C-alpha cells in the first residue's frame, strides 16, 4: 500500500471518521487506532505481522520487569536489549554475516556450515526495535513512563502513521498522548493539511520525478553515463532522499495531527548545514538523537578525553551505517561520517585555540556549506550503489570527463534544483499556507486543501515514489 495511494487515503479517512465519532470514549478510540494500524501493516506485510505481534508482547512484558524500584532490573534490561538486537540480527544481518564467513573460509579452500535462511526483513522492524530499546532503557533508568497496559504499548509500537519509517519516538513524549483524554476535534487542521500537502509534493512530485529520470539506474551501471551526468545524478539522488524521507515525515506528522498526536520533527533544512556536525543535528533528527542517547553517551561520550571521544564518534556512526543495511557500502558510509565528525571537532578546537570562534563570515559559511554538501553527496555513492565494485566504478567515472555516455536529463536538473530550493524555503512556504488557511472556517480549510491535492495530482509525473527507507 503506497502512502499516496487511494487505498491508504481511504484507510486514513475511515479511521479519522470512526476516531472522532468516538471522541467521548477514549478506550474505543484506542481500539480504532490499533485496528487501523494492524490493518495497515497486514496490507503491506501480512507475513511479518506475527513477528511484530510477538515483539510487541515480549517488549511489554520485559518493560514490566524494569524500573529503578525493581530488583534485578539490569538483568531484564540486558535480556530486552538482546531480544531486540537478536531480532534485527536474525532478519537483517544473518545472511550478510553468513556470506562474510563464507568469504573468509573460501580463502583457505573451505566453506562454512552455516545454513541459508530465506528471511524477509519485516517492514519497519529497525524503527520498531530501536523504539522498543529506548522504551526499555528509559523505563530502567526511571526517565520514561511504563505503559499501563498492552493496548497502550501496542499503540506506542505500531501506530500506523509512525510505524514504517519513524520518527523514532520516546515513551516520555508519545505514551502520555496515547493515554490522555481526547479533544472534541483536531486542534490544528490548517497545520496538519499544510504538512500533508508539503509531504505529498515532495514525494509525489519531486522524489517521483527524480527517481524516474536516471537516479536509480546510474548506480547500477555508471559506465553508461558521462562524468557530468553522474555528478548531477549524485546530487539528484541526495535531493531525492531528502524529498522522499522528509516528505514521508511531513505526511505522517500531518496525519498524526488530525488524530490529535504531535510527532517529533525529523528534518530541519539539512542541506543548509555548514558542517557535518550540523548536518547530523538537522538530518533524521529522531535517529541521530537516539544514537547520541543510547550509543554515544553510554560509550562515554566526551568524558574519556579527546581520543576517547573520537573513538566513540566513529563507533556510533559505524552503528549508524550498520543500521541502514547489511552491506559493506553502508559500513563504509557510516565510518566516513564518523571520521568527518572527528575532523570537524579537531578543526573547531584548532580554530578556538587561535581565538577564532566564528566561521569566517559569509565566505566561511559558504565554503563550509559547499564542502559539507559535497561530502554528503560523495558518500551517498556508497549508500546507493548495490555493491562496492559499482561504487568504485562510479567514483572512477566521475573523474573521467572524456568518457562518452548518457548526459544530464532536464527533468532531473529541474527536480534537483526545486528539491534543493525546497530545503531552504519549504518551512516558510508551509508557514504561509498555515497563515492562509488557519483563520478560516473548517469547510474553507478543507476546500483549500482539496484544491492543493487536485493540483498535485495534475502535476505529478505519474510514477510512485519508491521509499528508500521503507525497508529499514
Point out the residues that are catalytic. Answer: 324
Q: Report the candidate in 218, 222, 235, 237 with the shortest Cα–Cα distance to residue 403.
A: 222
**Over the chain, what HEC string results?**
CCCCCHHHHHHHHHHHHHHHHCCCCHHHHHHHHHHHHHHHHHHHCHHHHHHHHHHHHHHHHHHCCCCCCCCCHHHHHHHHHHHHHHHHHHHHHHHHHHHHHHHHHHHCCCCCCCCCCCCCCCCCHHHHHHHHHHHHHHHHHCCCCCCCCHHHHHHHHHCCCCCCCCCCCCHHHHHHHHHCCCCCCCCCHHHHHHHHHHHHHHHHHHHHHHHHHHHHHHHHCHHHECHHHHHHHHHHHHHHHHHHHHHHHHHHHHHHHHCCCCCCCCCCCHHHCCCHHHHHHHCCHHHHHHHHHHHHHHHCCCCCHHHHHHHHHHHHHHHHHHHHCCCHHHHHHHHHHHHHHHHHHHHHHHHHHCCCCCCCHHHHHHHHHHHHHHHHHHHHHHHHCCCHHHHHHHHHHHCCCCCCCECCCHHHHHHHHHHHHHHHHHHHHHHHHHHHHCCCCHHHHHHHHHHHHHHHHHHCCCCCCCCCCCCC
Say how many C-beta atoms besides its own lie within 10 A of residue 305's C-beta: 10
Burial-class residue 185 by CB neighbours within 10 Å (0-12, 13-18, 19+).
exposed
Instruction: Look up residue 232 and give its three cell numbers.
Output: 548531477
Give the Cα separation of 222 and 230 in Å (integer): 7
C-alpha distances out from residue 170 to 85, 130, 226, 404, Å: 18, 10, 46, 51
- Give me the count of residues in the chain: 472
* Residue 300 to residue 357: CA distance in whole angstroms: 26
Question: What backbone phi and psi angles, to 5 degrees, belong to 345?
Answer: -60, -45
Amino acid at each position: 500500500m503506497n502512502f499516496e495511494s487511494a487505498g491508504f487515503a481511504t484507510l486514513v479517512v475511515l479511521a479519522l471518521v470512526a476516531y472522532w465519532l468516538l471522541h467521548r470514549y477514549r478506550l474505543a478510540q484506542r481500539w480504532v487506532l490499533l485496528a487501523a494500524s494492524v490493518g495497515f501493516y497486514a496490507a503491506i506485510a501480512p507475513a511479518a505481522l506475527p513477528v511484530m505481534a510477538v515483539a510487541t508482547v515480549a517488549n511489554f512484558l520485559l518493560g514490566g520487569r524494569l524500573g529503578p524500584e525493581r530488583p534485578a532490573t539490569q538483568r531484564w534490561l540486558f535480556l530486552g536489549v538482546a531480544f531486540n538486537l537478536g531480532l534485527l540480527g536474525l532478519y537483517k544481518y544473518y545472511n550478510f554475516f553468513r556470506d562474510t564467513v563464507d568469504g573468509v573460509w573460501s580463502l583457505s579452500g573451505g566453506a562454512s556450515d552455516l545454513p541459508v535462511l530465506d528471511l524477509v526483513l519485516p517492514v519497519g522492524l529497525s524503527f520498531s526495535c530501536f523504539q522498543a530499546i529506548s522504551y526499555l532503557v528509559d523505563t530502567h533508568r526511571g526517565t520514561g513512563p511504563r505503559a499501563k497496559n498492552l493496548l497502550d504499548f501496542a499503540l506506542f509500537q505500531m501506530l500506523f502513521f509512525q510505524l514504517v519509517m519513524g520518527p523514532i519516538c520516546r515513551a516520555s513524549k508519545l505514551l502520555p498522548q496515547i493515554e490522555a483524554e481526547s479533544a472534541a476535534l483536531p486542534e490544528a487542521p490548517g497545520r496538519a493539511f499544510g504538512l500533508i500537502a508539503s509531504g505529498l509534493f515532495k514525494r509525489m512530485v519531486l522524489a517521483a520525478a527524480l527517481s524516474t529520470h536516471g537516479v536509480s539506474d546510474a548506480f547500477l551501471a555508471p559506465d553508461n553515463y558521462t562524468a557530468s551526468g553522474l555528478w548531477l545524478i549524485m546530487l539528484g539522488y541526495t535531493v531525492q532522499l531528502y524529498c522522499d524521507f522528509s516528505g514521508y515525515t511531513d505526511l505522517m506528522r500531518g496525519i498524526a495531527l488530525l488524530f490529535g498526536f504531535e510527532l517529533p520533527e525529523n528534518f530541519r533544512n539539512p542541506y543548509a548545514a555548514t558542517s557535518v556536525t550540523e548536518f547530523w543535528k538537522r538530518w533524521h533528527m529522531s535517529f541521530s538523537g537516539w544514537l547520541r542517547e543510547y550509543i554515544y553517551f553510554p560509550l562515554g561520550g566526551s568524558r574519556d578525553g579527546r581520543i576517547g571521544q573520537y573513538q566513540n564518534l566513529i563507533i556510533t556512526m559505524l552503528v549508524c551505517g550498520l543500521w541502514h543495511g547489511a552491506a559493506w557500502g553502508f559500513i563504509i558510509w557510516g565510518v566516513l561520517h564518523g571520521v568527518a565528525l572527528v575532523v570537524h571537532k579537531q578543526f573547531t578546537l584548532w580554530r578556538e585555540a587561535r581565538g577564532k570562534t566564528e566561521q569566517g563570515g559569509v565566505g566561511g559559511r559558504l565554503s563550509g556549506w559547499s564542502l559539507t554538501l559535497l561530502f554528503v553527496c560523495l558518500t551517498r555513492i556508497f549508500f546507493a550503489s548495490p555493491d562496492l565494485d559499482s561504487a568504485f566504478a562510479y567514483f572512477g567515472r566521475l573523474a573521467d570527463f572524456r568518457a562518452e555516455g548518457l548526459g544530464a536529463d532536464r527533468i532531473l536538473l529541474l527536480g534537483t534544483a526545486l528539491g534543493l530550493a525546497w530545503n531552504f524555503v519549504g518551512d516558510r512556504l508551509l508557514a504561509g499556507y498555515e497563515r492562509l488557511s488557519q483563520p478560516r472556517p473548517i469547510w474553507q480549510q478543507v476546500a483549500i486543501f482539496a484544491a492543493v491535492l487536485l493540483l498535485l495530482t495534475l502535476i505529478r509525473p505519474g510514477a510512485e515514489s519508491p521509499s528508500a527507507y521503507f525497508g529499514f
